[in-house]
Amino acid sequence: MIERRLLSFLLYDWLDAGALTRRARYAEHSRETFDAALEAAAQLAAREFAPHNRAADLNEPRLIDERVHLIPEIKRALDAFIAGGFMAAAADAEFGGMQLPALIEKACFAQFDAANVATAAYAMLTIGNANLLLAHATRAQIDAFARPQLAGRYFGTMCLSEPQAGSSLSDIRTRAVSDGDSPFGPRYRVFGTKMWISGGEHELAADIVHLVLAKVPGSDGTLPPGVKGISLFIVPRVLVQPDGTLGERNDVVLAGLNHKMGYRGTVNTLLNFGERRFKPEGRAGAIGYRVGAEGQGLALMFHMMNEARIGVGLGATMLG
Ligand SMILES: Cc1cc2nc3c(=O)[nH]c(=O)nc-3n(C[C@H](O)[C@H](O)[C@H](O)COP(=O)(O)OP(=O)(O)OC[C@H]3O[C@@H](n4cnc5c(N)ncnc54)[C@H](O)[C@@H]3O)c2cc1C
């Protein structure tokens, strides 16, 4: 765990966190409210996250009858995290958030990382996914997909990598074929395979919001070359209806689990989109909604990738 005196020194003496309360956005906050959040995070991390750190490492996620089995302590810890308001710690009050500065939110999160980086990773992905949508999605997309993530009802992922494309994202082959319009923006049918997807399948939340990089084929059916041909899509595991209720299962299928050397409590998956196992609205292809303009996908995804980099760096520092 992080020593409190050290954290206070870093936040208040070195980084002058108190000065943030002079900004209009944090006017409701004070050093007392910052300390209360830090203390609540420390207690929750010690009580719900740290005790199963070793157990999660020894009992990696298992795939039985097409369902992912995690040790139950992971869901208990994440439910407590959500109930404590930490999924929306930095979010606007309008989204049920505490409107904490990123500095204090990250200091809170560091304590969950220090206690159990693998369980904390589900929350890190969900918060990063919601933040990308808050920055770049339409109001309807935010209400349908970001708001429930900040409330902890849905969890999120980032789907970039493919079996043949890791660092070289210009080589992705996942395709998104136009499928008309929808209340959540331009609609597409997504076909392809995504590899190494953290948090890609589980029963920790009612839905999983996948943010998927894919290419829209040209009129000749070929995929545009390079990273400028990449677009970003919201592909929910279960379709969301215009009134916000959950509808039929989307065609996102778990093909297998990856086994890792560390972070074993975070399930890591191989996902097939548009496998034809499910036929949403009677037709093949996973239904996805484009975020932003065509060809802007990688730039938009960097919003989440950068947050994930900070999160992974924070986690690594806490382990180190
Ligand atoms: C634990 C874990 C969780 C992950 N979670 C996710 C996730 O949630 N979502 C997701 O989309 N992906 C995820 N990934 C995938 C991750 O983003 C990729 O592993 C990463 O992009 C690297 O791709 P790769 O593994 O195919 O390696 P490669 O791209 O094949 O790279 C292999 C090596 O070659 C080097 N290299 C690559 N290109 C060049 C070049 N042009 N010049 C010089 N050197 C080069 C790299 O630095 C590396 O050392 C996860 C991976 C891990 C290990």
Round to whole Å and give the CA distance between 225 and 239.
30
Residue nearest to atom 31 of ligand 1 (CA): 167
Cβ(263) – ligand 1 distance below 6 Å:
yes
Q: Model pTM greater than 0.85?
A: yes
Compute the mean pLDDT over every residue in the chain, rounded to the nearest whole number: 96
Ligand 1 atom nearest the C-alpha of 125 is 8
Q: 81-111 burial, b if ≥16 CB within 10 A, otherwise e? A: bbebbbbbbbbeeebebbbbbebbbbbbbbb
Query: Which of 170, 196, 210 is the pocket-test mutation for ligand 1 (most atoms within 8 Å of CB)?
Result: 196
Residues facing residue 67 across a β-bridge: 64
Cβ(111) – ligand 1 distance below 6 Å:
no
Residue nearest to atom 15 of ligand 1 (CA): 196
Cβ(269) – ligand 1 distance below 6 Å:
no
CA distances from 26 to 12, 34, 51, 147, 289 (A): 15, 10, 34, 21, 34
Residue 89 C-alpha to ligand 1 middle, in angstroms?
A: 30
Along the 320 residues of the chain, how does pLDDT read in single tens digits? 678 899 999 999 999 999 999 999 999 999 999 999 999 999 999 999 999 999 999 999 999 998 999 999 999 999 999 999 999 999 999 999 999 999 999 999 999 999 999 999 999 999 999 999 999 999 999 999 999 999 999 999 999 999 999 999 999 999 999 999 999 999 999 999 999 999 999 999 999 999 999 999 999 999 999 998 999 999 999 999 999 999 999 999 999 999 988 889 999 999 999 999 999 999 999 999 999 999 999 999 999 999 888 888 887 877 76
Ligand 1 atom nearest the C-alpha of 308 is 8
> What fold characterizes domain 156-300?
Butyryl-CoA Dehydrogenase, subunit A; domain 2 (2.40.110)
Residue 309 C-alpha to ligand 1 middle, in angstroms?
A: 13
Q: Cβ of 279: how many Cβ atoms within 10 Å?
A: 12
**Three-state secondary-structure class, residue 314:** helix
pLDDT digits (tens, 9 = 90+) for 174-226: 999 999 999 999 999 999 999 999 999 999 999 999 999 999 999 999 999 99
DSSP conformation class of 162:
B
Cβ contacts of 318 within 8 Å, gap of 6 or more: 2, 110, 113, 114, 117
Q: What is the pLDDT of residue 8?
A: 94
CA distances from 130 to 29, 88, 98, 150, 209 (A): 23, 9, 15, 7, 9
Residue 167 C-alpha to ligand 1 middle, in angstroms?
A: 5
Task: Give the percent of the chain with pLDDT over 70.
Answer: 99
Cβ(121) – ligand 1 distance below 6 Å:
no
Could you tell me the residue ranges of all domains in the chain? 4-136+310-319, 156-300
Helix (H) or strand (E) holding 119: helix 102-136
Round to whole Å and give the CA distance between 5 and 315.
20
Ligand 1 atom nearest the C-alpha of 263 is 1
Longest dimension (CA), the chain: 63
**Nearest-CA neighbor of 235 among 212, 204, 206?**
212
Residue nearest to atom 33 of ligand 1 (CA): 167
Residues 4-136+310-319, CATH architecture = Orthogonal Bundle (1.10)
Cβ(158) – ligand 1 distance below 6 Å:
yes
Residue 268 C-alpha to ligand 1 middle, in angstroms?
A: 14
Residue 201 C-alpha to ligand 1 middle, in angstroms?
A: 20
Query: Which of 161, 259, 309 is the pocket-test mutation for ligand 1 (most atoms within 8 Å of CB)?
Result: 161
Cβ(245) – ligand 1 distance below 6 Å:
no
Q: What is the pLDDT of residue 320?
A: 65
Ligand 1 atom nearest the C-alpha of 200 is 8
Cβ(159) – ligand 1 distance below 6 Å:
yes
